[in-house]
Amino acid sequence: MRLALTSRGQLMLGVAMTGAKFTPANHPDRGDPINDLISRGDLVPTSMEDLAAEMKAVHDMGVRYIHVHARNPLTREQTADPDIYRAIGRIAQQVAPGSLLSFGGSRNGREIHAAIERGGERARIAHAAMPLADGGADFVTAQAAIELQVCTDFERQGYVALDHTSGTVSVLKPLATYRPSAVAETVDLGVFSTAGGSSYGDSPATEQMNTLRWVIAQREKLVLPMEVEWVQRLRSRVLTDYLVNVLESGRKIRRLNITVLFGFSEPLPFPSSYPEFRAVVAEARSIGEARAAICNAEIPPLDVTVAVGAAILPHHGARHLREIDVGPQTGRLAGPTERLAHWACQFDSGVDILRIGLEDAPFHLDSLGRVLPATNPSLVEKAVEIVSMNGVQLVCDPAAVAEFGAVPQA
């Protein structure tokens, strides 16, 4: 199994540039100028010119993993338009050569819902079938929030019981016998979001399961990796384990990147300490260990890497102002993104990619807990400073980056 980059004193720096949460339609103004500016996504790049400029800027600073949700440049809302995704991919290839590109696939936003009404569930993530030569991405996030509807269906049908307080998972029936429900429902995932950012609409578990199967098939056909985001601790882990270690088609997956978004929801809170952080990262890495236990001539090893991000709303920023508990700045008050960066740099963190950006925690926090607007380059600049003071080397060599993102040969 692959060792974490940090175990070798290295780290890949990533930026989540746009996202689906902070948009004008998702945030009605609340009368707080700074919070409104940030939560509307006023500083999120949406035009191709702005995306190109920011991609080049962060690439020059050492970023080699770029995650993007396409935005409609006219409305600034998330879009599923394949032409926009294609254009973003081609721009990234031009201005950020030697980088790994990741596309989102969220079900959030009125333009995404309209695309699903026109073209079915796959329309929101059709770019998973886009080849790199046509502007496609190295990674496409197949499992994030709405897909957890499959896990809630596990629970409702009595396959698993989850205790979010103790963190225990009880498997009550063999998941290999699971058949998804065809009943459409709205699932309350307990996410921290803008007013409209947690609206994923109604769908049946069958639709989400079929979409996941389709994405797995497309990535296998393209010989490109799978990627998932953990937005809840237990449900995300159970679903990922099911997809890659139980589902027959998923057992063929050989390369998986897991992005853990701390603070995204109540069931995945932002950690109060480094040991809490490290425990969740270890759970993510254990997905590869579970595959190792079932490997045979037909089931290959699974190469797992872990990215970490701080998904914090600006008006929640001050509650996460605490002392740094590891590294050269131990004892200094800092916000969640800075603390996350110090945690990620530790040699035993188990982390491969430190992800920051306007999708996740789109602000700076000063020592008094005051929220300040940020840009992707300003967040990257601070992350580079922290990585450097921890004595960690950023992975920038094109060959090393390509090897990191490659699917191991059968």
What is the SS3 assignment for 340? helix
**pLDDT value of residue 197:** 67
Backbone φ, ψ for residue 177 (5° rounding): -95, 5
Check if the beta carbon of residue 360 is closer than 8 Å to that of residue 312. yes
Q: For 305-352, what is each residue's pLDDT tens digit?
A: 999 999 999 999 999 999 999 999 999 999 999 999 999 999 999 999
Compute the 3-state secondary structure of the chain and give helix, strand, coil in percent, each to the nearest 5: 40, 20, 40
Query: CB within 8 A of 287, min separation 6: which ones?
Result: 237, 240, 241, 244, 245, 256, 258, 302, 304
The DSSP 8-state label assigned to residue 315 in this structure reads: G
Of the CA atoms within 13 Å of residue 87, those in its CB half-sphere come to 17
Mean pLDDT of 394-406: 98
Q: Residue 258: in which H helix or E strand, if any?
A: strand 255-262
Orientation of helix 149-156 relative to helix 233-245, angle to 10°: 90
Distances from the Cα of 370 to the Cα of 55, 154, 237, angstroms:
28, 42, 34
What is the C-alpha radius of gyration for the chain, rounded to an integer number of angstroms? 20
Q: For 158-196, what is each residue's pLDDT tens digit?
A: 999 999 999 999 999 999 999 999 998 887 777 888 776
Q: Which of 196-205, 247-256, 260-269, 368-377 has the lowest mean pLDDT?
A: 196-205
Check if the beta carbon of residue 142 is closer than 8 Å to that of residue 227. yes
Mean pLDDT of 265-273: 96
Check if the beta carbon of residue 312 is closer than 8 Å to that of residue 320. yes
Percent of the chain with pLDDT over 90: 91
Q: For 73-124, what is each residue's pLDDT tens digit?
A: 999 999 999 999 999 999 999 999 999 999 999 998 899 999 999 999 999 9
What is the SS3 assignment for 67? strand
**Position of tokens 């080049």?**
56
**Structural tokens at position 267:** 């069931």
Q: Compute how many other C-beta atoms are within 10 angstroms of the C-beta atom of residue 163.
A: 10
Distances from the Cα of 29 to the Cα of 34, 36, 41, 313, 315, angstroms:
10, 5, 12, 15, 13
Q: How far apart are CA 306 and CA 58, in angstroms?
A: 21
State the pLDDT confidence band at 201, using cuts at 50, 70 and 90.
confident
The DSSP 8-state label assigned to residue 106 in this structure reads: -
Q: How far apart are CA 387 and CA 380, in angstroms?
A: 10
Single-letter amino acid code for the residue at 309: G
Mean pLDDT of 271-295: 97
Q: Which of 22-31, 265-274, 319-328 has the lowest mean pLDDT?
A: 22-31
One DSSP character per residue, 188-252 reads: ---B---TTTT----B-HHHHHHHHHHHHHHHHHHT--EEEEESSHHHHHHHHHHHHHTSTTGGG
Domain residues of the chain, as ranges?
A: 5-405
Query: CB within 8 A of 91, min separation 6: which ones?
Result: 48, 51, 52, 55
The DSSP 8-state label assigned to residue 123 in this structure reads: G
Percent of the chain with pLDDT over 70: 100
Distances from the Cα of 231 to the Cα of 83, 192, 312, angstroms:
28, 10, 12
**pLDDT value of residue 202:** 82
CATH 3.20.20.70 fits 5-405, yes or no: yes
The DSSP 8-state label assigned to residue 346 in this structure reads: S
Mean pLDDT of 236-249: 97
Q: Which of 15-19, 102-106, 201-205, 313-317 has the lowest mean pLDDT?
A: 201-205
State the pLDDT confidence band at 1, using cuts at 50, 70 and 90.
confident
What is the SS3 assignment for 46? coil
Q: CA triplet 307, 46, 50: central angle to 5 degrees? A: 90
**pLDDT value of residue 194:** 79
What is the SS3 assignment for 129? helix
**Position of tokens 């770029």?**
66
